[in-house]
Amino acid sequence: MQIEILGNGGEIGRAAFLVTSNNTNVMLDYGVKLQPEPPQYPVMRKTDNIILSHAHLDHCGGIPALYEKSKPAAVMTDVTLDLSKMLLLDSLKVSKKEGYHTPFNKSDIKKMVSRTRTINYKQKFRVGVFDAMLFDAGHIPGSAGILMKNKKTIFYTGDIQTAESNLLHGCKLPDRADVLMIESTYSYKNHPSREREEERLKQHVEEALAREEKVLFPVFASGRAQEVLLILEKYANKIALDGMAKKASDIISKYPGYLKDKKRLKHVLRKVHWVHGEESRRKATEHYPIVIATAGMLGGGPAIHYLREMKHRAQSKVLFTGFLVEESPGRQLLETKIFQTAEEKFDVHCHIDQFQLSAHAGRSGLMHIIKKLNPETVICVHGERTKEFAKDIEKQFPGVQAIAPKNGDVIKV
């Protein structure tokens, strides 16, 4: 059995891993790295099978390209399929607008959908020589860790969170695995107390409201938008929801079985102002002091419209709640108070802050996963400090082999 690292080796973005055993090959995720621009895709390989961990573009954004010359069978949860379709269609629109090449078209997305089988958590299924199962990863609704068993058992975490959030329960894990492919986004640190971060966020909102100023939350559409809505539940009638976060919220609310409290999210979504069209956006700007809008790293979307409108207001706030990739417009804004893309550049005088509400496990959570699964081999992916993490794993777990692969590496297990 071997695992080829096509992307996500020593980096965050374009997750893609080809697992081969006997005559079976299975692609685990096939994403895109959006920042820095232009988007970067993994090495192309033909595959007969795809299993998708979750609906974020760095994991699903390249899958339709695999249908250009073949017809792989795909497996994912039902909500992941709907969210992925939404994201992929939007990425085509964005690439056309920005003038970037995308290695697939609408027809390829349709092929992906038609070739997809949806699977529930802990439902056994077969992929070639592998017995497989999906486990709740606690990252976003429908996110899954992937267990594959032949002579050896492989568990790929995808993006995973051990702790509970307002939206989701923490992850579920198998009893053990021989080989563990683990995300390493925050392998170097633990997150601060979530309760304290939520209180700090609410204090910033209260300060802005007391001064009759605005608060902008640039968010990821799937997962983070809904989490922020739940944190700000008591301010729901003061919130405008804009961009792809609306469609993602609508999709997620139709799959209540994945949520920690389905009634609570529906209650909040009924109260907020849904922005539809320019007149509705003007109303949001004038009458709703809290705006939750895509995109989370300010790489596009209506969040930029609101940022332009409020850029001179020193008492207004721009509050980030998600990961900001190096060289993204959001990261640059946080560090320099300058918003810059290929099309425009301007100073922002607002208060800018970031809150640690991560949907990724921190260092202690990742170490807990390793301890529970007791693997022979750990493969550290989806992180910028994987070499350091691999050394720490071998120190903490004597007898465990930890590998920090580069893109292009082939690991035999």
229 and 289: one domain? Answer: yes
45 and 87: one domain? Answer: yes
Does residue 267 sit in helix, strand or coil?
helix
pTM: 0.95
Rounded to 10 degrees, what is the CA torsion of 184, 247, 134, 168?
70
Predicted confidence at residue 35, as pLDDT, reads 81
37 and 50: one domain? Answer: yes
103 and 182: one domain? Answer: yes
Taking the alpha carbons of 179, 161, 269, 212 in that order, is the dihedral positive or negative?
negative
223 and 80: one domain? Answer: no
> pLDDT tens for residues 143-152?
999 999 998 9
Predicted confidence at residue 360, as pLDDT, reads 97
For residue 353, is pLDDT > 90?
A: yes
Q: What is the mean pLDDT of residues 52-81?
A: 96
- 8 Å CB contact between 329 and 340: yes
Q: How many Cα atoms occupy the beta-carbon half-sphere of 360 within 13 Å?
A: 21
pLDDT tier, 399 (very low <50, low <70, confident <90, very high otherwise): very high
The domain that contains 112 carries what CATH number?
3.60.15.10
145 and 15: one domain? Answer: yes
As a whole number of Å, the end-to-end CA separation of the chain is: 6
Phi, psi (deg, nearest 5) at residue 131? -90, 135
Which of the listed residues 339, 354, 369 is the one where a domain comes to its end? 354
Q: What is the mean pLDDT of residues 371-388?
A: 97
ω into 405 cis (within 30 of 0): no
For residue 314, is pLDDT > 90?
A: yes
Q: Is 399 exposed, middle or buried (CB count within 10 Å of its CB: 0-12, 13-18, 19+)?
A: exposed
For residue 224, is pLDDT > 90?
A: yes
pLDDT tier, 327 (very low <50, low <70, confident <90, very high otherwise): confident
Cβ atoms < 10 Å from Cβ of 80: 29
> Radius of gyration over alpha carbons of the chain, in Å?
21
Predicted confidence at residue 98, as pLDDT, reads 85
Range of 214's domain? 194-354
Adjacency order of strands within the sheet including 179-183: 125-127, 130-136, 144-149, 153-156, 179-183, 377-381, 401-403
The domain that contains 308 carries what CATH number?
3.40.50.10890
> pLDDT tens for residues 92-126?
999 998 889 999 999 999 999 999 999 999 999 99
User: From CA 223, how far away is CA 384, in angstroms rounded?
Assistant: 23
178 and 293: one domain? Answer: no
- 8 Å CB contact between 361 and 342: no
- 8 Å CB contact between 28 and 53: yes
Quote helix, strand, coil % in the chain, to nearest 5. 35, 25, 45
- 8 Å CB contact between 328 and 218: no
User: From CA 133, how far away is CA 147, in angstroms rounded?
Assistant: 5
Mean pLDDT over the full length of the chain: 96
Predicted confidence at residue 56, as pLDDT, reads 96
> pLDDT tens for residues 167-217?
999 999 999 999 999 999 999 999 999 999 999 999 999 999 999 999 999
Fill in the amino acid letter for 57. Answer: L
Does residue 214 sit in helix, strand or coil?
coil
Predicted confidence at residue 323, as pLDDT, reads 85
Cβ atoms < 10 Å from Cβ of 279: 9
User: From CA 106, how far away is CA 112, in angstroms rounded?
Assistant: 10
Which of the listed residues 333, 354, 375 is the one where a domain comes to its end? 354
374 and 318: one domain? Answer: no
Strand partners, 320: 354
Angle, alpha carbons 254-112-68 (nearest 5°): 155
Predicted confidence at residue 229, as pLDDT, reads 98
Tokens of 326: 């190096």
- 8 Å CB contact between 353 and 320: yes
Q: Is 205 exposed, middle or buried (CB count within 10 Å of its CB: 0-12, 13-18, 19+)?
A: buried
Taking the alpha carbons of 3, 6, 8, 11 in that order, is the dihedral positive or negative?
positive
Rounded to 10 degrees, what is the CA torsion of 194, 225, 252, 146?
-60
For residue 36, is pLDDT > 90?
A: no
Strand partners, 412: 2
Which of the listed residues 320, 337, 354 is the one where a domain comes to its end? 354
- 8 Å CB contact between 362 and 190: yes
Fill in the amino acid letter for 292. Answer: I
Phi, psi (deg, nearest 5) at residue 66? -70, -15
Tokens of 413: 């297990």
342 and 271: one domain? Answer: yes
Predicted confidence at residue 135, as pLDDT, reads 98
226 and 138: one domain? Answer: no
Number of domains in the chain: 2
Q: What is the mean pLDDT of residues 305-328?
A: 94
Phi, psi (deg, nearest 5) at residue 352? -125, 135
For residue 69, is pLDDT > 90?
A: no
For residue 78, is pLDDT > 90?
A: yes
ω into 295 cis (within 30 of 0): yes
Predicted confidence at residue 97, as pLDDT, reads 86
172 and 99: one domain? Answer: yes
Residue the block writes with tokens 């609906």: 55
Q: What is the mean pLDDT of residues 341-366?
A: 96
Q: What is the mean pLDDT of residues 391-395?
A: 98
For residue 90, is pLDDT > 90?
A: yes
230 and 336: one domain? Answer: yes
